[in-house]
């Protein structure tokens, strides 16, 4: 089938051009990341600018940005038209901020891990990797989140208890 430049693309063509599996495209569609319209024969057709959205999903995946975050950002982009350069700048700036946050978290973990190398104490009071933040330490030593378990509550008497 030959396609005119303005023709909407059948799913096979989108798969061929993006390398994304048809099942993943269906999933993206369910999530509202991309959209397709249906032909009279109930076949999906994708507007060409969906290729850009899919490319951006692939970039996000490479950056470790979750599909939930992609969806958040995509809700600010027009679905029916090609996003503008400004739209893309906004998206990339937001993801850059997320990457910088993650980088700071990784650097913090790296510092904590450095303190643990060769230690091995895995102490709840000293090891920041094992017990980050230690919010419950302010309440004093010992277990803080224990609730009466089924074993510690009085057990109802059964007939066998009476016989023995
Ligand atoms: S293992 Fe000792 S401080 Fe983390």
**Residue 158: its pLDDT value, please?**
54
CB of 122 closer than 6 angstroms to any ligand 1 atom: yes
**Residue 148: its pLDDT value, please?**
58
CB of 126 closer than 6 angstroms to any ligand 1 atom: yes
Ligand 1 atom with least separation from CA of 121:
2
87/83 Cα distance (integer angstroms):
6
In-domain check, residue 140: no
Which H helix or E strand runs over 52? Answer: helix 50-63
As a residue count, the chain comes to: 164
161/69 Cα distance (integer angstroms):
58
96/100 Cα distance (integer angstroms):
6
Enclosing domain of residue 8: 1-117
In-domain check, residue 139: no
In-domain check, residue 98: yes
In-domain check, residue 26: yes
**Residue 101: its pLDDT value, please?**
95
**Residue 25: its pLDDT value, please?**
97
**Residue 126: its pLDDT value, please?**
80
- 33: its two tokens: 């990341």
**Residue 41: its pLDDT value, please?**
93
CA of 122 to the centre of ligand 1 (A): 5
Q: Model-level pTM?
A: 0.69
**Residue 139: its pLDDT value, please?**
78
- 24: its two tokens: 């993943």
CB of 120 closer than 6 angstroms to any ligand 1 atom: yes
Q: Which residues, including other chains, have CB under 8 Å from residue 102's CB and lie 6 or more apart?
A: 64
CATH number of the domain residue 4 falls in: 1.10.1660.10
**Residue 128: its pLDDT value, please?**
82
| pLDDT tens, residue by residue, 4-24 | 666 899 999 999 999 999 999
Ligand 1 atom with least separation from CA of 115:
3
| Residues with pLDDT less than 50, the chain | 160-164
Structural domain tally of the chain? 1
CA of 100 to the centre of ligand 1 (A): 27
């Amino acid at each position: 089938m030959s396609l005119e430049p303005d023709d909407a693309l059948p799913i096979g063509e989108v798969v061929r051009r993006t390398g994304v599996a048809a099942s993943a495209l269906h999933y993206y569609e369910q999530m509202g990341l991309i959209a397709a319209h249906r032909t009279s024969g109930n076949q999906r057709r994708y507007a060409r600018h969906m290729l850009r959205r899919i490319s951006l999903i692939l970039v996000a995946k490479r950056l470790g940005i979750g599909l939930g975050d992609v969806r958040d950002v995509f809700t600010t982009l027009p679905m029916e038209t090609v996003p503008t350069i400004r739209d893309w700048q906004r998206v990339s700036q937001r993801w850059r901020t997320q990457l910088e946050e993650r980088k700071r978290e990784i650097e913090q973990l790296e510092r904590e891990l450095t303190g643990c190398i060769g230690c091995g104490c895995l102490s709840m009071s000293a090891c920041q990797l094992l017990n980050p933040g230690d919010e419950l330490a302010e309440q004093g030593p010992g277990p803080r989140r224990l609730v009466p378990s089924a074993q510690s509550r009085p057990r109802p008497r059964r007939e066998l208890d009476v016989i023995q």
